[in-house]
Amino acid sequence: MSFYDDLKIKMHQYVKDIYKVSKNFPKEELYGIVSQLRRAALSVILNFIEGYARRKGNNCKVFQNFLEISYGSLKESKYLIYFSYTEGYISKENYNKLLVMADEIGKMLWNIISKNPKQKT
């Protein structure tokens, strides 16, 4: 299994766990925090996949841009997880589990971002 495959599997599990945990949020948060958290988590993997698909040829800047969006969405989801924990929507166990996953994904994404050759404009 390649590094990229491993990263996609971790991202996929992250999204699944976000969905699972957010099913227990209060109903009044369905269109608020639940929607925002799920969209942020999905954005992590979706932007990575789209950028990866466009990385061929002379598209290093495009790939880099998608990686940075993915990384930004990961940071957004981490804050939303923290907020949800402080509001009592997420247990300490789930909070810690999601943070560990997010940190692993973040390190892997940053590894790619920092090594991706940047083209001059």
Whether the Cβ atoms of residue 4 and residue 52 lie closer than 8 Å to each other: yes
Count of the separate structural domains present in the chain: 1
Environment class of 45 (CB within 10 Å of its CB; exposed 0-12, middle 13-18, buried 19+): buried
Task: List the pLDDT tens digit at each of the 121 positions of the chain.
Answer: 899 999 999 999 999 999 999 999 999 999 999 999 999 999 999 999 999 888 776 667 888 999 999 999 999 999 999 999 999 999 999 999 999 999 999 999 999 999 876 544 4
For 47, the token pair is: 């932007």
121: in domain? no
Residue 18 maps to which CATH number?
1.20.1440.60
Distance CA 86, CA 73 (A): 20
Give the domain extent around 29. 3-115
What's this model's pTM, rounded to 2 decimal places?
0.90
